[in-house]
Structure formats: structure tokens, C-alpha cells
Structure 1
Amino acid sequence: MAPDDWDERGTPDHRFTEVKILLHDLSCVHQLQSSDRESRDVAVIATSSISCACGCHRLSNDCTLVQFVNNFLDSEIAMQAPSSAMAPLIAVIGCDGSGKSTVCEHILEWIGRYGPAGTVHLGKQAGNVGRSLGRLPLVGAAMERLIRRKSDDVNDRIKEDKQPSLFPALVISAFTLRRRRRFKRMLALRQRGLIVVTDRFPQLEIPGAYDGPGFPEASQGSRPVLALARHEHAIFEWMANHRPDLVLRLNVDLDTACARKPDHRREALSRKIAVTPLLTYSGAQIVDIDTNQPLANVLKEAEAAVARVMAERGYAVKEENPRAA
């Protein structure tokens, strides 16, 4: 099947809106009351990155790194068990280029025959933000090199069984807060009786990859970073405790994934493909679908798997399809 048969839509306008806000914050963020120039520079860059990562909500000029750390550590986590009374939850997971967006959009529309439905993206999307920054005129190339350098530094520290330094830790924490907010929105939709289809789903089995925790399982690091890592683990433990009714696991070969996602690094896609079959999502029901086959066959298999789960949950097809939320 030709890669063009697939349509993994993104939201470029939204991503560039986040980038514009990041640049705005770079110009107006309040400096720390410190004579240490390096600390002030870190505050400017980290605060801007946090603003972008947290979903277009600008931080006030009085916000500092200390305030952010305190807010992150003080964020409330409800550890209650998931309610079996909530509406069904269907998660679609797979490597980039496997067709997650296409399958999500189709299932969201198709599942409306059972009742009102909604969708939430539960991925980190750090790569999307980084690629958007890399496409900016004039500064894009420099930003891309900076992000790549910081990423390589974090990977080197992980190999040495060390946590990231403070700045990358703050960025990781910002993305975690963003995902926690989206996850709570997903739960609210289910509590309102909406069937929810998610693009990606948090997992706790493999840190540092595939929508898992951003902090590694390392014991070495500064106290603030170790505290942030512990708190992130608690957030992911809470999210993973809400097991989906069904996980559609989309499998794709490396060449097909690279053809569909030419702006992604081949080695990164290779790692994700290798990890895909290892994820269990706390024992959730998983249906594997080969997305190298024609799209029509993929969608047919996805519909059949969802139909079985909806029948198990006692849902019947309605005469009229409510509009998806």
C-alpha cells in the first residue's frame, strides 16, 4: 500500500501557535532576582519552554523556577481506583507512522452509533514541538541543534545512571503537567457518559520512551530533580491505574513508518517499533492490527475489535448516531 493512502493529520496551526507564545515569553519573562547570569538565562529559557509545553498558557512575569517546582510538587493526585461505571475507553497506540490519527478519527466517527463519543490526545508531543521550532525561519536550525544537543546530554546521563540536569528536568515536568491535565479531561468525558477514543495512552513499563515517564529509573541526581522524578512517577502510576477497555495496537514495519514520517529519525522509529509489542497497559485487552495492509482492512479489523468490546460492556447500536464531541 502506498504511504499516501494514509492521512495522519497533525495540527500545525496549533503547534506554531505554541511556538509563537514561546517566543513571546522569551521577550517578556521576568528575570530572577539573582546576580548569577547563568541562572537568569536558565529561568528565561525554562519558563518559556514550560509555557509552550503546558498548552499555550503563559506564565506570569512573577513566575520563577522555584514557583514552578513548588506548583509541580504540590499538584494534587487522586489515587482512587478507576470507576467501572464510567463509559468505555478505547486507546489507539503504535509507532509514529502506524496510522494512529487515521484510525482514531475513523473509530471516533464510527463508534457514535453506540452513543456520544469524544477524543483526547494523551501523548507527550515533545517531538512535534521540537520539529515546529526547527521549522521556524532564521532561528529554526539553531533551535533544532540546541534541542538535539540537550537531548543527547540527557541520554548520556541516563547511560551513566544519572537523572537529567535541572533545566531538562523542568521541561520534562512541564510536559507531564500538560498530560495530566489532558488525562483529567478524558476522565471527565467518561464520567459524563461519553465513550472516549484516545490517541496514545500513558504507560509505566518503559520509562523514557513511548508515552512513558520522562525521568529514568536512576538514583543519582540533585534533590530537586529527584523530587520531580518521584512525583512524575506517582502521576504516571495514577494514570496507568485507569486501564482502557481496549487497546488497538497498530504494528508497522520500519520502511513503511519512515515513508509515512520522513521528518522523523529512522533510529527513533526503529526503537519505537521494537518497544511496541512489549507494552501491556496493566493487563488491558489488546488487539494487534497490521497496518502495513490496505487501510480498508485495517479499519475493518479495528471496527470488529471495538464492536466486541462494546457488546461486552452492554452497548447496543442506536438508530441515530449522535455527533462526536
Structure 2
Amino acid sequence: MSHQISPLPNLNPVRVIAITGCDGSGKSTLAASLVEQLASQEPAELLYLGQSSGRIGEWISSLPIIGGPFGRYLLKKSDRVHEKPSTPPGNATTLVIFLLSYWRVFKFKRMLKKSRQGQLLITDRYPQAEVAGFRFDGPQLAKTVGGNRWVRALRKQEEKLYQWMASYKPMLLIRLDIDEKTAYSRKPDHDINALREKIAVIPHLNFNGANILDLDGREPASKILDESIRAVQDLLKSKNV
């Protein structure tokens, strides 16, 4: 069950083309192709705005005393929060989740800086503050309940961070829709229940009222790219940004 969280204010869109959708919908392929096409016209760069658990895992594993096995254990515990939201997370699990979210904030700030410098950013994924859970690029701790004072404080802080990020709307958000069968055929190593949940939730997110272009992720990659390029170019001309 998805946990709804607080609404947030609207800010002017930033020079960002965000791509979202379930795993297997073609986000990464479209993002890379868009950068390749648009970079010939103006400065454009690809940024991944997922939580990057791999990098955080490497950092945790490199810490003295903690080591690799315990670092992997903590990341697994943070993943299980999604399956058992009613169980209060422990201090270590809470810290790992918060670090994952803060790494996303760090990348988001980097995106804003580049946008202000005039670059056009293409992002694979985009944070939202409507539904809790890393699966939907929302705050993970907001899925949980209870915990000690420190856990509750980090949960509240994480929610504020996502509200802040979501207040910056991309000038265009391309959402790639896909069905469960196609998604699983492209990503057979993924958990079918996770894919099913993403397919059920992501199409209903409004990303703080962003300009959303819904495309069928089952279509040929070339057709999806052509429609995306046309929408981006029309927007750049009309907005003169």
C-alpha cells in the first residue's frame, strides 16, 4: 500500500527533461539517446537521479569495523523497509536510508547548479513527494511508522528534503508507460511484485503539476525518441529557454 505524504509549493520549472517509468520501460536508453541528439544543438548532460545504493554500499563497506558483509547487510535491511513498513527501522537502517536520500539531494543540487549555468539536463528518474518509497523515487522513511526520537527526526527531515526537491518541476517530464509482461520480459532478474507495484503507482504521479508527456514504452525506441525530441524542441522554442 502506498503512503501519501504532504503537498508542496510550486516553483518555476528548471531546464530539465526528466524521464520516469517502471524498470524495463526504456528510461536509460531514451535518456542516453536524447543527450546524444540534443548535445549537438546546445550544452546537454545526462544525470542519474536514483538513490545510487551501489555507491553508498561501497562507502559503508569501506568504513573501519563495519566492513563489506555488514555494509551489505545494512543495505538489505533498508530494502526490506518497503516490504515491512509497519516495523520501526533500527538506528543503523534509518541512517543508511537517510544517506541514500541525501546522496540523491547532493546530485539534485548539482543538477540545479548546472541548470542555472545554462545547461540542459536530461535526468534518468526524478524525485517526487506524493507517494513514499524508493521504488517510486519518493522518501523511503515515510513508509515506516514508529521508532525512537532519532528515527522520527530523520524521517521528518527526509520528507522535507523530498518536498524541497519536488518543488522544482522539470520543464518536461517524459513518462514511459509499460505493461507487466513486457517489463518482466526485459528485466527478468527483477522482482515481479516490485515491477507490478511501480506499474500501478507511477502512471498516477503528477510530479507537482509538471508538464508530462506520456509515451508507450512498448513502441520502438526510434519512435519514442522522435516523439520526445519533437516535444523537447517545441518546448525550447515556445519557452525560449
Fold in common (TM above 0.5): yes
**Aligned equivalents of 1:163, 1:213: Cα separation in 2:** 15
Higher strand share: 2
Q: Does the 8 Å contact 1:157/1:164 carry over to 2?
A: no
**Aligned equivalents of 1:300, 1:128: Cα separation in 2:** 33
Aligned to 1:72: none
**Aligned equivalents of 2:56, 2:192: Cα separation in 1:** 18
Q: Does the 8 Å contact 1:118/1:196 carry over to 2?
A: yes
Tell me the CA shift for residue 141 of structure 1: 11
What CA deviation, in whole Å up to 9, does each residue of 1:63-90 have, x standing for no partner?
A: xxxxxxxxxxxxxxxxx98566x6x211
Q: Does the 8 Å contact 1:163/1:216 carry over to 2?
A: no
Aligned partner of 2:103 among 178, 184, 196: 178
Amino acid corresponding to residue 102 of structure 2 in structure 1: L
Distance 1:278 1:117, change over 3 A: same
**Aligned equivalents of 2:170, 2:25: Cα separation in 1:** 20
1:199 corresponds to 2:121: no
1:279 corresponds to 2:215: no
Aligned to 2:152: 226
Aligned partner of 2:215 among 289, 295, 299: 289
Gaps of 5+ in 1: 1-79, 131-139, 316-325
1:257 corresponds to 2:167: no
For the pair shown, the structure with the greater C-alpha radius of gyration is: 1
Aligned to 2:62: none
Q: Does the 8 Å contact 2:169/2:208 carry over to 1?
A: yes
Instruction: Find runs of 4+ consecutive structure 1 residues off by over 3 angstroms.
Output: 80-84, 125-130, 140-152
Amino acid corresponding to residue 173 of structure 1 in structure 2: F
- 3-state secondary structure, aligned to 1:96: coil
RMSD: 2.8
The number of equivalent residue pairs is 223
1:97 corresponds to 2:28: no
**Aligned equivalents of 1:150, 1:244: Cα separation in 2:** 29
- 3-state secondary structure, aligned to 2:151: helix
Alignment of 1:1-325 (within 5 A): 88-126=15-53, 151-152=79-80, 154-155=81-82, 157-158=84-85, 160=86, 163-208=88-133, 209-216=135-142, 218-314=144-240
- 3-state secondary structure, aligned to 1:90: strand
Q: Bigger relative contact order, structure 1 or 2, given CA contacts below 8 A and separation 6+?
A: 2
**Aligned equivalents of 2:45, 2:206: Cα separation in 1:** 24
Q: What TM-score, normalized to structure 1?
A: 0.62
**Aligned equivalents of 2:162, 2:223: Cα separation in 1:** 34
What CA deviation, in whole Å up to 9, does each residue of 1:20-70 have, x standing for no partner?
A: xxxxxxxxxxxxxxxxxxxxxxxxxxxxxxxxxxxxxxxxxxxxxxxxxxx
Distance 1:250 1:169, change over 3 A: same
Gaps of 5+ in 2: 1-8, 58-67
Tell me the CA shift for residue 127 of structure 1: 7.7
- 3-state secondary structure, aligned to 2:215: strand
Tell me the CA shift for residue 102 of structure 1: 0.5
Identity of aligned residues (%): 36
Which segment drifts farther, 97-106 or 289-298? Answer: 289-298
**Aligned equivalents of 1:275, 1:82: Cα separation in 2:** 24
Amino acid corresponding to residue 98 of structure 1 in structure 2: S
Distance 1:81 1:187, change over 3 A: farther
